[in-house]
Amino acid sequence: MTTERRASFEAALSPHMDELYGTAVRLTRSRTEAEDVLQEAVLRAWAHWDSFEEGTNARAWMHRILFNTFVNGWRRRKREREVLGAVREDAGRDAHWASGERELGPSASVLQSGLGDEVSAALDEMPAVFRSTVQLVDLGGRSYKDAADILGCPVGTIMSRLHRGRRWLQQRLREYAASEGYLVASAA
C-alpha cells in the first residue's frame, strides 16, 4: 500500500516540481527560502495525500498547499517579530498604559502555537510567574488591569513581572533575534 501511495504521489507531483519551485522563489524572493517552503509544502501534501481526489488537478492542489505554506510561515515570522519587538522595547512604558484598555486579540496559546521553535522554547523555559503575565499582556493583548484581575494581583505587580519577563526573553533570545535580523548589531 505504501509503495503504491508513494508512486501515485510522485507521478502526480513530479511534472510540476520545477514550476512549484519557480513559484516558491517568486513568493519568497530567495532560492534558499524557496527550497524550504517547497520542502514543507511537499511534506504537507504527502501527509494529506489520502484526501487528494484522484483525477482532480494535482497541480492546482499543490500550488494551493505551497501558497498556504508560504502564508503560514509569513504569519509566524510576523508574530515572532511582534514578540521580539516587545522584548526589545524598554520596560519604561507610559504609566497611563497600565490602566488603559487595549484591543483584545487572540488567546496567548493560539499566538504561541504560531511562533517559531526558538521563541516557543524560550517561553516554555521562562519562569511561570513571568510567562503567564507575558502571555496575557504581550501575546493576548490584555490590559495591565485585565491581567491583574485574572492573576489576582496588583497592577504594579503585573508591570514588574512584565518588565522582568521581557528582560528574561530579551537575554534569552538576543542571539536568535540578531541572527534573524530583528536586532541591529550594536558596537558595544
Delineate the domains of the chain, giving CATH numbers in brackets. 2-50+57-77 (1.10.1740.10), 87-179 (1.10.10.10)
pLDDT at 114 (0 to 100): 56
Query: Is a pLDDT exceeding 80 seen at residue 47?
Result: yes
pLDDT digits (tens, 9 = 90+) for 101-140: 333 344 444 444 457 778 888 888 888 888 888 888 888 7
pLDDT at residue 58 tops 60: yes
* Structure confidence at residue 186 as a pLDDT band (50, 70, 90): low
Helix axes 17-28, 31-47, angle to 10 degrees: 130
Q: What is the pLDDT of residues 62-110, one digit of tens each?
A: 888 888 888 877 777 777 777 766 655 544 444 334 434 333 344 444 4
What does pLDDT average to over the chain? 77
DSSP state, 90? -
| Better pLDDT: 103 or 185 | 185
Residue 184 per-residue DSSP state: P
